[in-house]
Amino acid sequence: MNCEYRGTLLRATGVSLTIGNSAILRDLNLEIRDVYRPGYITGQIVGLLGPSGIGKTRLFRILSGMDRPDTGEVLVGEKCVPVERGMVGVVAQNYPLFEHRTVAGNLELAARAAGLSRSAAAEKAGAYLKRFGLEDRAGLYPCQLSGGQRQRVAIAQQFLCSEHFVLMDEPFSGLDLMAVEQVCQMIAEVANSDELNTVIVVTHDIPAAVAVADTLWLLGRDRDENDRIIPGAKVKKTYNLAEMGLAWQQGVATTKEFGEVVREIRGVFPSL
């Protein structure tokens, strides 16, 4: 795949976290760089995979600036500044919106929270309504939206707050196959609407992660010489799906290579 990697957009180094007597994360390192493809606007989509209880949620909270690690740091943006709460948008599973405000009102409130004046917030919210295909939903309330529309509004809201970074928590949970494909398409559209947009998808849905991402991180734990688990998760393996030819193409899920990667990841999950 014809692409190159430019500046670092997010980097975590030496991140460790212990809660009580339990090591959750241990000396974790990761990096997201700007993917550039000539002739295309290409954002970044990273899938974070790992077994239940491995520490995905804790890492999610640290990357978003909601929690601080015991050691290490997370740097975001082209200037690589330490992450603070609000720099990275967070889209929770239930797509929380203010039910008493219209779609436009929700987006304007997010823009105001980012420091814009009332008129500037209304203008930027209008631009995001257009970018996210929500212009005809501007005057509706959240209860009048479908689940997919709510998700789209929630993502737009978080991009208004954080500009280029969004973390999504289990966006495929409880969805049928057709709905998963629609969400994958929507995430790709959102990410690729700006060169610097970066979406990190935390999920246990391996096929969906392989289908939507250009990079995968597998979170797991080391083992000692006696094959005993060493407490504390780290990124055990990275899959560069772009270099493998599995990114940015329609119908990728029908290819032999896609199936091979999904089977490989499923095979290593029990040992993570």
For every one of its 272 residues, what pLDDT tens digit does the chain have, with 9 covering 90 and above?
Answer: 688 999 999 999 999 999 999 999 999 999 999 999 999 999 999 999 998 889 999 999 999 999 999 999 999 998 899 999 888 988 887 777 899 999 999 999 988 887 889 999 999 899 888 878 889 999 999 999 988 888 888 888 888 878 789 999 888 887 778 888 888 888 898 899 889 999 999 998 999 999 999 999 999 999 999 989 999 999 999 999 999 999 998 889 999 999 999 999 999 998 88
pLDDT number for residue 94: 73
Instruction: Please give the helix or strand (H or E) that residue 216 lies within, else none.
Output: strand 215-223
Q: What are the chain's domains?
A: 4-90+160-271 (3.40.50.300)
Q: Phi and psi dihedrals of 215, rounded to 5?
A: -140, 140
CA distance 265 to 204: 11
Instruction: Please give the helix or strand (H or E) that residue 193 lies within, else none.
Output: none
pLDDT number for residue 41: 92
pLDDT number for residue 1: 63
pLDDT number for residue 48: 96
pLDDT number for residue 246: 94
Nearest to 110 by CA among 156, 67, 152, 66: 156
pLDDT number for residue 128: 86
- The Cα-based distances of 25 to 74, 81, 238 in angstroms read 14, 22, 17
CA distance 144 to 136: 12
CA distance 121 to 112: 6
Tokens 């203010």 found at: 98
